[in-house]
Structure 1
Amino acid sequence: MANGQLIIEQFEAFSPKKFAMPGDSIGLQIGTLNKDVKRVMVTLDVLESVVDEAIEKGIDLIIAHHPPIFSKLAQVNDQSATGRIVMKCIEHKIAVYAAHTNLDVTQGGVNDLMAEAIGLTDTTVLAPTFENAVYKLVVFVPQEAVQQVSEALTKAGAGQNGAYSACQFHSVGTGQFKPETGTVPYIGNVGQVERVSEVRIETIVTELNQKQVIRAMKKAHPYEEVAYDIMRQEQTAEPLGLGRIGYLEQPVSLHQFAEHVRDVFGVENLRFVGEADRLIKKVAVLGGDGNKHVSTAAFAGADVLVTGDLYFHVAHDAMALGLAVVDPGHHVESVMKQGVVNELKKRFEERKIRDVELVVSTANTNPFKFL
């Protein structure tokens, strides 16, 4: 059992709120995180059937991709589905947390999971939305603690420069300080100026991992007060954003590719736009509604875009651009359920968070049936 806030802190380390599109409805939507949580259920949607499943399974916290509350509620009562959802959750002390476009954008989120399911290689971001700023981190360390601090920095993700990891620069110098009254110095005496041989460690961090790196650095550092600097750099790390674009291992026909998409996502049926025998090699994928990014995929050189909710006239636009489109439906984003559970299990294990059970919702929330 763990505090609900601690669980969401681990989730937000994976899928930060800052990745969400402006105005998106994310975060805690129902209930409180200030409570002990024993069972967490991950779902695509929060329908009444999902809440009923949560009640039956004794769930304390629901983590959903699609927010149950998209706009302000004028009233909460049993005359609407949303009202009943809110009432049931409160009555049974179930908190509901939503991660929408931030889960689309994050590494290992919806779009990476879809690209992985299709079998794409060498994937990059299709539509960048978040610039990952780079910072230089400088910390001063006594000689005997250099290895432990250096290793802690690397383990926390500092020093990643393209395909190179553990990148650091070390230089030796003399540090000076005077411990004042009330301090418990690692080196030196209270009230006396101390000079000690120290190593200046320089490395790089990004906006995404800066906090965790600094936290790990302070934990490994022996000093009571750690001397360090953070300086914004001109370059940026690889951007993050919506969708992914990559390659199939071998070219296939559009018809074969559409069958493959149908099979890997387990859908009954799908639609596709384009000549069935055209060869497909470069593939763009965008979970959910990708109508706005048809031209983005075409200009990126994709042979086909895999997305949902394709509009009739947008299909015409894709044809005019020479882009094939495969539409397996919006519900294929349900790939995120097991993906999020796997990610949280890994993070809980690393941080020794135990006695929290993670459950994948089994309720079918796909509204469509096929003849």
Structure 2
Amino acid sequence: MTSTVFVRDIMRLMEEIAPAKLAMDNDKIGLQVGNVDKPVSRVWVALEASPDTVDAAVDAGVDMIVTHHALLFRPIARLDTRQRRDRAIQQLLVHDIAVFSAHTNLDIAPGGVNDVIAGKLGLKDVEVLDVTYREPLYKLVVYVPTTHLDVVRSAIGDAGAGAIGRYTHCTFSASGTGTFLPGQGTKPFIGTQGELEQVAEARLETVVPDHLIHSVVARMCEVHPYEEVAYDILPMLQTGDEFGIGRIGNLERSIALEEFAERVRDEFGMRHIRFAGDPNLQVDRVAVLGGSGSRWVAASLEKGAQVLVTSDVGHHEAGDAWADGMAVVDATHAALEQPVCAVLAQMLRDKLRANGTSVTIEAAPVTVDPFTWI
């Protein structure tokens, strides 16, 4: 990355933090407004690009807003700038402020929304509540002269190939004879143009996860001695790491539901909170899901939780959940998800610093919760 940081650079870092492939079907993520080639010196991370957020960003000279909620989630039939929301979009365009959104991919990503919620509540032994993505694996097979087997094996292992459980650099090789006839214009490492060559070679194979396949192959080709590298990439039925929505974990000690609801209220800075269930119910296993998560009551029950912490729970949903034996703590949508903004801003700062660049990145100092408690 150069000393000048562009919108595309922030997007690239966001892809590392919350890959687009993790997003759930039909989600609206990615660049929503702006030019990928625009230089940026000040970036805000916000829950959403609300009219108040946009007004404050204009005043503060912000170049880019990274949001959790999509600005353009539903199709726009027209822009009527008499309306606040439409006028905010106009302001973004006039002042050339880019907006990039990471929604369910940030919910699902390690260290994202749901891990932040679980961390604030002190959950231990945290695991995914509902698996939504299993990373594809590929078998990489390459043919290498035996003189360079160790060099190629080390290079692809160092690039991340061959990781199985807690083991790394896992490969298998078998010896054989490779044949090739160098054609006109070639510069063979071994052999002579126009003459059939036989070489002692090894078939080297390993496993590579989807997100590393291109970088591993590139590194393999860098160290391989042949002018043309013979290799195969074969899809596997097995899958790699699992990712998913929501988290579930254990409390340090069992506490009553009412006391736990008070903890949620205090940790997320709310004046009031509501819950469904017996106030004296002893809680030691908790499911959390930022946003509208009442659809995951059954998954929470199946994994042994006594309570689900989520948002936007309706009357019938809360009643049905408790009738099925699952207590619900219903925090506001914004309160549960807002804390990820500061965490994500720090992640971006750390990545930029590691790349030797510096941009002002901060959580937007604007409250976007539409609800006021009295």
Q: TM-score range by the shorter chain?
A: 0.7 to 0.9
1:125 is aligned, of 116, 123, 128, to: 128
Stretch moving more, 229-238 or 156-165 = 156-165
1:340 is aligned, of 341, 344, 366, to: 344
Stretch moving more, 20-29 or 313-322 = 20-29
Letter in 2 for 1:40: V
CA distance in 1, matches of 2:351, 2:221: 20
Letter in 2 for 1:334: Q
Q: After superposition, where does 1:187-198 map in structure 2 within 5 Å?
A: 195-198=198-201
Question: Are 2:231 and 1:228 equivalent residues in the alignment?
Answer: yes
Stretch moving more, 248-257 or 146-155 = 146-155
Q: TM-score, normalised by structure 1?
A: 0.88
Structure 1 residue 173, shift from structure 2 partner: 4.4
Question: Are 2:107 and 1:100 equivalent residues in the alignment?
Answer: no
1:370 equivalent in structure 2:
373
CA distance in 1, matches of 2:350, 2:154: 21
* Larger Cα-atom Rg: 2
Question: Are 2:69 and 1:66 equivalent residues in the alignment?
Answer: yes
Gapped regions of structure 2 (runs ≥ 5): none
| CA distance 1:278–1:72, shift in 2 (3 Å) | same
1:110 equivalent in structure 2:
113
When the two chains are superposed, the root-mean-square deviation of aligned CA atoms in Å is 2.7
CA distance in 2, matches of 1:148, 1:36: 41
Question: Are 2:285 and 1:282 equivalent residues in the alignment?
Answer: yes
Deviations 1:239-269 (A, max 9, x none): 3221112222332222332233233323332
1:19 is aligned, of 22, 30, 44, to: 22
Letter in 2 for 1:237: G
1:135 equivalent in structure 2:
138
Identity of aligned residues (%): 41
| CA distance 1:49–1:184, shift in 2 (3 Å) | farther
Q: Secondary structure at the match of 2:248?
A: strand
Q: After superposition, where does 1:37-186 map in structure 2 within 5 Å?
A: 37-142=40-145, 146=149, 149-182=152-185
Structure 1 residue 175, shift from structure 2 partner: 4.2
CA distance in 2, matches of 1:324, 1:273: 5
| CA distance 1:70–1:187, shift in 2 (3 Å) | same
Deviations 1:201-244 (A, max 9, x none): 32222234433433444455455543322212222224322111
Gapped regions of structure 1 (runs ≥ 5): none
Q: Secondary structure at the match of 1:36?
A: coil
Is contact 2:352-2:358 (8 Å) kept?
A: no
1:254 equivalent in structure 2:
257
Q: Secondary structure at the match of 1:288?
A: strand
Is contact 2:107-2:114 (8 Å) kept?
A: yes
CA distance in 2, matches of 1:147, 1:342: 40
Is contact 2:107-2:113 (8 Å) kept?
A: yes
Q: Secondary structure at the match of 1:287?
A: strand
1:302 equivalent in structure 2:
305
Q: How many residues align?
A: 370
Is contact 1:2-1:353 (8 Å) kept?
A: no
Letter in 2 for 1:233: M
Letter in 2 for 1:235: Q
